[in-house]
Amino acid sequence: MSDDTISWDDFERVKLCVGTITNVEDFPEAHKPAYKVTVDFGPRVGELKTSARVADLYAKEDLQGRQIVGVVNFPAKQIGPVRSEFLLTGFYQEDDHVVIAVPERDVPNGARLV
């Protein structure tokens, strides 16, 4: 095993869940283009908020109602005036823009990635 190999138990500890974006607001205090995002992760997790550095690729209206994948069991983190309660996942492009990770089809909010 290499040092960066993880066990199945390690992977299962990361709660990667699907949620639907319910609100997107400007985040002018952010150092890089970002939004304040609220996501409904279903009845077990509820609504969580975060800041997301995706304003350079996505308009607010394009994000509203979209399903995303988030890590919902990180500890909350204060990012300026925003209390980040989950990590919105995505992929960095070469230009440092973030492309959001999304499910290929609609699934129930709160469904876990397996």
pLDDT band at 3 (very low <50, low <70, confident <90, very high): confident
- DSSP letters spanning 1-62: --TT---HHHHHHS-EEEEEEEEEEE-TTSSSS-EEEEEE--TTT-EEEEEES-TTT--HHH
pLDDT at 2 over 80: no
pTM across the whole model = 0.93
Give the mean pLDDT of 31-41: 95
pLDDT, one tens digit per residue, over 80-101 is 999 999 999 999 999 989 999 9
Q: Mean pLDDT over all residues of the chain?
A: 95
pLDDT digits (tens, 9 = 90+) for 41-70: 999 999 999 999 999 999 999 999 999 999
The structural domains of the chain, ordered by start, are 16-100 (2.40.50.140)
